[in-house]
Amino acid sequence: MSLLPSRNALVPFVSVDNMMRLVLHVGIEEMMQGIATEIEADFRRWPLFDKTPRVASHSEIGVIELMPTSDGETYGFKYVNGHPSNMKKGLQTVTAFGLLADVATGYPVMLSEMTILTALRTAATSAVAAKWLAPKGASVMAMIGNGAQAEFQALAFKAICGIREVRLYDIDPVATEKCARNLAGRGLTVVPCHSAEQAILGAQILTTCTADKQNATILTDNMVGAGVHINAVGGDCPGKTELHRDILTRSSIFVEYPPQTRIEGEIQQLAADYPVTELWQVMTGAVAGRQAGEEITLFDSVGFAIEDFSALRYVHAQLKATGLSQNLDMIADPDDPRDLFGMILRASQG
């Protein structure tokens, strides 16, 4: 559905403060469920969207990216960075903002912070994928990497997939303590662990979400038994992986958009024509998801623009009822569209 621009050319802006107010107003689990519903709906109409790998500017210390898409009526993009070394400076590893625009006029209809929103949509996407791919009745998840994304992942899997226990491990015990503290009293059994091997004991879902920009091996082949679902979140740029290659060749691999995932995901370790399945095809019933109890399914998650589009549309739909935005005067709106210069002159006259 097209989102029409305001007639007075003022653009609603969702600040960090208002995004936090919205999350608290809706409820964090309920908001991730709402975003997940939008993601599923948009994945089911996947062929309608413009699709391109994110436009990335890489450096030795990080990456800055633009993630655009359109369904023909509404256009959206996200600006996002990824700088793992920021944490040592007391800064966020990932920051982001995004915009929706009306295709018919080109006018923006909403500008929003997306640092918080990206965390919500990433977790919602992970849980949506697991809903389709994880073994039936899965109730225990290992969460390896307990940084800024960990709590969102745990609560999304609880709300959407019915996870009851989360087993936490991070190379930094302070991160695990932080995560356990934040998840206390939220309906999950939280088990801090001293190693990745301990964390995966009894887990049917293995989530890896680490930040270091390197070819790391968070899970080795002998750690992964039959029948599990792997939610690989942290491998999200060239040269950054978390899983041993042999795990990939034992798994049925599901991705968002192959041209992007082959550059940034775990499958950058494999041949360019290695067979993978697109997640939207599972959701539409075009191809099967998990087919056997002993099968290892792997969601090679790198994040794709359509998920941000879905999250932005969800937020936009909440604004009328909640009023949790402020108007920005960011579009010049002369009385005569041909007289932009005259508009400046009139401003100078008082």
What are the phi and psi torsion angles at 217 (to 5°)? -125, 85
d(CA 334, CA 330): 13
- Identify the band that residue 341 occupies on the pLDDT scale cut at 50, 70 and 90: very high
Task: Give the pLDDT band (50/70/90) at residue 174.
Answer: very high
In this prediction, residue 4 carries a pLDDT of 62
36-40, 50-54, 233-237, 288-292: least confident range: 233-237
pLDDT above 70 for 2 = no
Angle at 234 between CA 54 and CA 94, to 5 degrees: 60
One of 170, 236, 300, 308 is an active-site residue; which one?
236
Q: Which of 191, 194, 195, 190 is nearest to 219 (CA)?
A: 195
* 7-16, 23-32, 95-104, 245-254: segment of lowest average pLDDT: 7-16
pLDDT in tens, 54-103: 998 988 888 899 999 999 999 999 999 988 889 889 998 889 999 999 99
Query: How far apart (Å, rounded) are the C-alpha atoms in residues 35 and 128?
Result: 10
Same domain, 152 and 103: no
Indicate if 236 belongs to the active site.
yes
CATH of the domain at 64: 3.30.1780.10
The boundaries of the domain holding residue 187 are 129-303
Residue 161 lies in a domain: yes
Backbone φ and ψ for 287, nearest 5 degrees, come out as -135, 160
Does one domain contain both 181 and 261?
yes
Q: What is the largest CA-CA distance in the chain?
A: 76
| CATH number for position 254 | 3.40.50.720
Give every CB contact of residue 265 below 8 A, 6+ residues apart in sequence: 232, 235, 236, 241, 255, 300, 301, 302
Average pLDDT, the chain: 94
Give the confidence band of 328 by pLDDT, cuts at 50, 70, 90.
Answer: very high
Residue 5 lies in a domain: no
- Closest among 346, 342, 325, 329 to 20, alpha carbons compared: 325
Tens digits of residue pLDDT in 106-155:
999 999 999 999 999 999 999 999 999 999 999 999 999 999 999 999 99
> 269 with 326, same domain?
no
**Are 196 and 278 within one domain?**
yes
Same-domain pairing of 321 and 183? no
Q: Assess whether 295 and 260 both reside in one domain.
A: yes
pLDDT tier, 228 (very low <50, low <70, confident <90, very high otherwise): very high
Residue 153 falls within a domain, yes or no?
yes
